[in-house]
């Protein structure tokens, strides 16, 4: 069976995720010919020489767009294979096209359609007809992929919008209530010393609200533009780390925070954003880490093209939380059932690292949690 493949489809039509097509035939030459006929940039051809091999492939591969089954095969013929495919909840949705070199007996066709086939073709198969039929199912699969992506994006957007409303209605209410209470106390003209203390409370509540608002604005910027905007300039990451460590130590005088530096820590980055990243990582370590174990920040500039920083603390992260650790509003609940913070710190850290062209990984084992950030020495502004 030799085919002359039709002209390739224009590249503008090749979009979406990879489409999988299963071909089952006991003649190797037929498999090679069908593969050459249906091969495309976004089409993955799965080839099986028997019904048993086909079932193994279906177990290993999800979301097959089309299966071409040879009817006349030893041990397990195409009809028997189709019956097994249709009998499984996982594979019963796969469209089946039977291909046979047998006689044009209507009984065979009826039997094929009873087994769930969408078409029944006879060898030698017209190549243009087969390709056009296959492309219909490939296009349907691409559309399903596109709809699934759109549904996921809309679901995530709806979730984020709901969380934004929850933050505005709940989390910002706490510092605002503190400010209103202090304002009420100030109206009673207390003693000057108490005025000073009340003013400090107002400043703390205002700074807390300011951080929340900035975090929400960063989420909005990242969603609108795909990533945060940065302004790279020459800087020394070691000097910035020392400043952030001093601030964190001042806010947590009871905790032990170690800083280790080695190598050349100079590069072109957004100094303000990297300071925000370090403050978020260290603040997260202080908040969630085991109090009696030190928090460690290490900076390694030994490599020529990258700088690596690690923040580690005592305590672990639940395994089910690790895959979504950098998603927005992923917070830990305390014993009272309330979220500790907005759950935006690690999301913003991830956005800052991405904007610099770097990577961030989290690992939790042996009672220690470690975040590893790898930054190229030269970030390019978007």
Distance separating alpha carbons of residues 318 and 323, to the nearest angstrom: 10
Radius of gyration of the chain (CA): 30
Statement to judge: residues 66 and 49 lie in one domain: yes
Q: Is residue 154 in some structural domain?
A: no
Statement to judge: residues 133 and 53 lie in one domain: yes
Statement to judge: residues 131 and 181 lie in one domain: no
Output the domain CATH number for residue 266: 3.30.565.10
Answer for the pair 218, 160: CB distance below 8 angstroms, yes or no: no
Q: Is residue 372 in some structural domain?
A: yes
∠314-316-322 over CA atoms, to 5°? 135
Contacts of residue 176, Cβ cutoff 8 Å, sequence gap at least 6:
205, 209
Statement to judge: residues 277 and 345 lie in one domain: yes
User: In the listed set 164, 194, 225, which residue is the last one of a domain according to the structure?
Assistant: 225
User: In the listed set 147, 180, 202, which residue is the last one of a domain according to the structure?
Assistant: 147
∠312-345-295 over CA atoms, to 5°? 20
Q: What is the 3-state secondary structure (H, E, C) of 240-263?
A: HHHHHHHHHHHHCCCCCEEEEEEE
Q: Is residue 244 in some structural domain?
A: yes
Q: What are phi and psi of 116, to 5 degrees?
A: 100, 15
Output the domain CATH number for residue 63: 3.40.50.2300
User: In the listed set 204, 225, 246, which residue is the last one of a domain according to the structure?
Assistant: 225
Statement to judge: residues 34 and 117 lie in one domain: yes
Statement to judge: residues 280 and 297 lie in one domain: yes
Please list the pLDDT of the chain residue by residue as tens digits (382 residues). 333 333 334 333 444 468 999 999 988 998 999 888 888 888 899 999 998 999 999 988 888 999 999 888 888 988 888 889 888 888 888 999 888 876 666 666 666 677 667 888 888 888 888 898 989 999 999 998 899 888 888 887 776 666 666 666 555 666 677 777 777 776 675 677 777 777 777 776 776 677 667 766 666 666 665 667 788 999 999 999 999 999 889 888 899 999 999 999 999 999 988 998 998 899 889 988 999 999 999 999 999 999 999 999 999 888 888 888 887 766 544 434 433 444 677 888 888 998 899 999 999 988 899 999 999 999 876 5
Distance separating alpha carbons of residues 93 and 82, to the nearest angstrom: 11
Domain of 184, in residue numbers: 172-225
Statement to judge: residues 210 and 240 lie in one domain: no
Statement to judge: residues 180 and 90 lie in one domain: no
Q: Is residue 5 in some structural domain?
A: no
Statement to judge: residues 191 and 246 lie in one domain: no
Question: How far is CA 325 from each of CA 1, 37, 62, 349, rounded to the nearest angstrom?
Answer: 54, 44, 26, 11
């Amino acid at each position: 069976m030799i085919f002359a493949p039709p002209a390739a489809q224009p590249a503008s039509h090749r979009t979406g995720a990879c489409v999988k097509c299963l071909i089952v035939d006991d003649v190797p030459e037929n498999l090679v010919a069908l593969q050459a006929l249906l091969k495309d940039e976004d089409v993955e051809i799965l080839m099986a020489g028997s019904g048993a091999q086909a079932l193994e492939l279906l177990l290993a591969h999800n979301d097959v767009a089309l299966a071409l089954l040879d009817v006349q095969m030893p041990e397990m013929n195409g009809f028997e294979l189709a019956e097994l495919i249709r009998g499984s909840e996982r594979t019963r949705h796969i469209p089946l096209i039977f291909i046979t070199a047998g006689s044009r007996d209507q009984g065979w066709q009826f039997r094929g359609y009873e087994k769930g086939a969408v078409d029944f073709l006879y060898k030698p198969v017209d190549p243009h007809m087969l390709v056009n039929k296959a492309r219909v199912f490939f296009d349907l699969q691409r559309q399903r992929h596109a709809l699934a992506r759109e549904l996921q994006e809309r679901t995530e957007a709806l979730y984020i919008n709901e969380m934004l409303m929850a933050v505005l209605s709940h989390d910002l209410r706490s510092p605002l209530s503190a400010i209103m209470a202090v304002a009420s106390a100030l109206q009673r003209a207390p003693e000057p010393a108490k005025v000073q203390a009340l003013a400090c409370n107002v400043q703390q509540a205002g700074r807390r609200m300011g951080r929340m608002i900035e975090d929400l604005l960063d989420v909005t910027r990242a969603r609108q533009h795909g990533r945060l905007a940065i302004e790279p300039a020459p800087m020394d990451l070691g000097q910035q780390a020392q400043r952030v460590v001093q601030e964190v130590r001042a806010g947590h005088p009871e905790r032990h925070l170690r800083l280790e530096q080695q190598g050349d820590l100079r590069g072109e980055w957004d100094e303000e954003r990297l300071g925000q990243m370090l403050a978020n990582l260290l603040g997260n370590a202080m908040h969630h880490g085991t109090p009696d174990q030190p928090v460690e920040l290490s900076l390694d500039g030994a490599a020529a093209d990258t700088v690596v920083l690690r923040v580690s603390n005592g305590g672990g992260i639940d395994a089910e939380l690790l895959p979504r650790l950098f998603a927005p509003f992923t917070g830990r609940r305390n014993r009272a059932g309330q979220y500790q913070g907005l759950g935006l710190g690690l999301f913003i850290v991830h956005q800052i690292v991405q904007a610099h062209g770097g990577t961030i990984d989290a690992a939790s084992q042996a009672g220690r949690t470690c975040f590893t950030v790898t930054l190229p020495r030269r970030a390019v502004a978007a």
